[in-house]
Structure 1
Amino acid sequence: MLDALRRRLDAWGVRTATSRDALLGAVVGVVSVALFLAVLQVVSSGLGETLGASASTDSMSTGARVAACVVLVGQSMALTLRRRWPVLCLALTLLGQLALAPLLPPFVNFQAPAGLVAAYSVGVHAPRRPALGAAAGAAVVQVLLGYVLGGPATAAELGVPVATQLWGGLVSALVTYLGAALVGAYLGTRRELLAQLRARVAQAEREREALAAQAVLAERGRMARELHDVAAHHLSGIVVQAAAAERLVDGDPERARESLRWIRAQGRETLENLRLVVGILRDTGTGDDVAPSAPQPTLADVPALLDLARSTGTRVQETRRGEPFDLPPTAQLTVYRVLQESLANARRHAPGSAVDVETAYDEDGLEVTVRNGRGDLSAVSPADGADDVPGHGVIGMTERAELVGGRLSARRTSVGGWQVRLTLPRSDDAGAPAARVAQEAR
């Protein structure tokens, strides 16, 4: 209902809070004048016959009636200030009520509706304690000054003791003003609670969206790392073997066919690995397209990885130092992926160069270093990607190392090659970071 009224006011061009309060004041003014004239008519026809002509409202002149109506309209228009300055609005309506007292005939005590609306507005828009204090103060001032301005004559004519009249009027005014202020305070508090609830809901929605966006970015990073680690390693070997087969197809067909058979086997393995990765990333759980699960690589798979690199023509020299110790599955996966990416980069950017893989176990942890020389750039044509700049591989390796509490550095060596160094702490130190990537190890 309120929304429909707001839409109607918007259609009429009454859009601001001040303009709507001014319209409310005008409506209250018209209602107040109508009620005032109706009260005069009722009192004139009722009490006039009972108490005599002296008590009749007919003695109220036309000028007094017009002045009273003007006071009522002005009092009502003070409601324009009820949102911005609610206490001032209450004070102005109180002044209007006091100005009305001398104009009223005996036996007529008319409480203008604007005062009640102002007391309600104080409860809604002013702080709670000052609002109730202002409402109580307005009731006391209205009773006392109203008695001074017009009360003694009325009390004498009715034969009512002054104290009784004052206490009765004070109780009535307090109930009226405080009641209106309390209703306004209740509705104002309820409105504030609803606003806070909406703000919290909006904040929760923004946080949910931020978490969802963060989760999407994390998932995109995981997808990029998995796809890059699986595809780049095999495809770089396929490219090297394809270039070799192209040069040997005329001079040594048998070796060319051997290279093609290797390419076919590696292509089949690449497709199978990509299918496994896509199945993991989709995580459908049901249906006919579910990819079979496969164990993640560990340190036990490193020799096979090095043999695969040697089968592509890369000279790989492995050195181990120290006593091996157990590493969490996530750390082992990180070592395997870093070696895989480093070998692929060496094959892609320094074909023909020897690669040294050094694994060192000590008290602090595990350190894996992969070095390659400048390489024989004549072994691969520019079309084979020898001059490519490394892409996201180093970024993915660095992210993997950080997720398990390790460090990774990649730099150019003094002889023109590259060195990649991965440092991982022992399992006791790496346990907490490893928990953050437990999902990736499954």
Structure 2
Amino acid sequence: MTQTLPRTELRIARSALSGLRQDLIDDAFAIHPLPPLSSGNPLMRRAPERARRYVGWLPHAALSACAFYVMAQSVVLVDDDMSLVLALLCGVPLLLTLFRPVGAWWLSFGASAVAGLELLPLEPIVGWPWPIPLATSHVLVMVMVAARSRPRAAAEIWLFTALLAGVLEYVNDAPYVSDTFPMLFVSGLLLCAVVTARSLRESKRRIAVQESVTVEERSRRTTLEERATIARELHDVVAHHMSVIAIQAEAAPYRVENPPEELTRSFATIRENAVIALTELRRVLGVVRADDIDTDADPEAPQPTLAALDGLFAGVRAAGLAVDHVTTGAVRPLPQGVELSAYRIVQEALSNALRHAPGSAARVEVSYVLGGLGLRVVNGPPTKAVPPSPGMGHGLLGMRERVTMLDGEIRAGAREEDGGYEVTVFIPAPEMAAPEIAVPETVAEPEA
């Protein structure tokens, strides 16, 4: 225990010295120019378009103005040959912070030591150990360093300044009042304010970045969930067709009297491959179905089609949404995947209307057009108070996933006419022909 404490303290001291060397010594005079204001700055956003190129350089102009003001103050307070020297000691470090902030602080620190050791013959009325212009310049330099360096650098430069003040107070027994305490007190308050403001700004930036990442991850997770839902639903459609292939391949040889052996083997191979494919399909997509969070859904129930829209409208009307349904064009059978996706799109659009536009009326248009199916779901503005919804646009994302899967097009957005919402979808769907199985009367012998 007696050996652990000294080693720990030595390690802390080495770490502090390493940080001090990294902040104030290594590359102290490296070029680190003050950047102009970013486009996201409030001043840049409020400034006119033509003036933004000049507004971005306001910090540089303000700092230069402060430097020339301090230099002018030095000339006014000191009426002898030392006025120019004091003006340079005050203005040069302040202007240097535009390019080399840490190096500028070292120059200001050296100028403070020169003035405090009374190497400049200044009158006591100017201030001791910091003349008024030099104290102003040194505080501004420390503020610039704190605003552009790590928070610990602000504590380090303040402690060095306090150490210098203590040395000057000890070395010089001046008969006049010292301005050390006011200077350290004001500079400490300003440095704390700068570090606090910078920390808050960095925290807000990190929170914004984290929220952006969270939204992106949530959107990605939602996309995967929607795709899993589509896979669960299409599992039934694909499994149905694969079962039909297997059954018809098994029954086809019995429809021909004395079928050739090659034909029988071909149908047997077709059936075997269909059964294998069906087994693998159920093995892979069945896992997705097992994770279905919709425990109320019947896993054996057939997937809905456009013929089930009347039941959907009845449920929505019972929930308080007036729905008008119009079907145009010649109704014809469509691929089951198209009908299932069309049903889900209408269902999701009406659910969004119930959630985000209570008390409104909706209109659903189903158009059987040449080469595909058109859907249009329109709802008016809400007439009742809209309750807060935890939704993040997942329904619209699911609709886009379904339409993209079928190579269709979708447009969704607010209506300028009445403030309602409109979803327009087109899904390409060729006309379906009745499936037929052609059984050849003879099978050609394969060429040798």
TM-score with structure 1 setting the length: 0.44
- State which structure, 1 or 2, has the greater radius of gyration over its C-alpha atoms: 1
- More helix per residue: 1 or 2? 1
TM-score with structure 2 setting the length: 0.43
